[in-house]
DNA sequence: ACCCTGACTACCG
DNA sequence: CCGGTAGCCAGGG
């Protein structure tokens, strides 16, 4: 049963990620909140780290609360810049301007 | 059940 | 939004 719940969790997380508009970014906490699990931000990260295994989703549009890019995901910056997202430095997205409002 | 781990976060300072 | 600290909770061994 625990496995079943995980599968549903994965589905919910990926569905939420799929809603992030192009050129916008969301935080792990935001995604967790969207699926009604605001305490499970870390789990969101875990699922996204394996997202490519489940299918293709815009996981590059998810960053941490400070706009920091995900580790072990070198292409993330390039993918975001291609959508017009500006960076304040090598590793941080300008959250003030590009964080998705959830609508 | 216990312990460790992590693509996290809220809270200082 | 930097750095350190302390909660957090599902997974895997």
pLDDT in tens, A43-98: 999 999 987 666 689 999 999 999 999 988 989 999 999 999 999 998 899 999 99
Q: A26 — phi, psi (to 5°)?
A: -130, 160
For residue A26, what are the contacts with CB-CB under 8 A and spacing of at least 6?
A17, A20, A61, A62, A63, A99, A100, A102
What is the CA A10 to C1' B9 distance in angstroms? 21
pLDDT at site A7: 79
A89 nearest nt, CA–C1': C1
**Domains of chain A and any CATH numbers:** 2-98 (1.10.10.10)
> Does position A6 have pLDDT exceeding 80, yes or no?
no
CB-CB contact of A41 with A32 (8 Å) = yes
How many Å does it take to go from CA A41 to C1' B12?
22
In the structure, what pLDDT confidence band is assigned to residue A29 with cuts at 50, 70 and 90?
very high
């Amino acid at each position: 049963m625990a496995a079943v719940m995980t599968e549903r969790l994965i589905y919910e997380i990926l569905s939420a990620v799929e809603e992030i508009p192009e050129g916008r970014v969301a935080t792990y906490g935001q995604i967790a909140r969207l699926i009604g699990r605001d305490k499970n931000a870390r789990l969101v990260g875990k699922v996204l780290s394996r997202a490519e295994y489940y299918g293709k989703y815009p996981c590059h549009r998810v960053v941490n609360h400070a706009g920091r890019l995900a580790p072990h995901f070198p292409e993330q910056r390039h993918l975001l810049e291609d959508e017009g997202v500006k960076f304040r430095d090598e590793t941080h997205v300008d959250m003030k301007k590009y964080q998705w409002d959830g609508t």
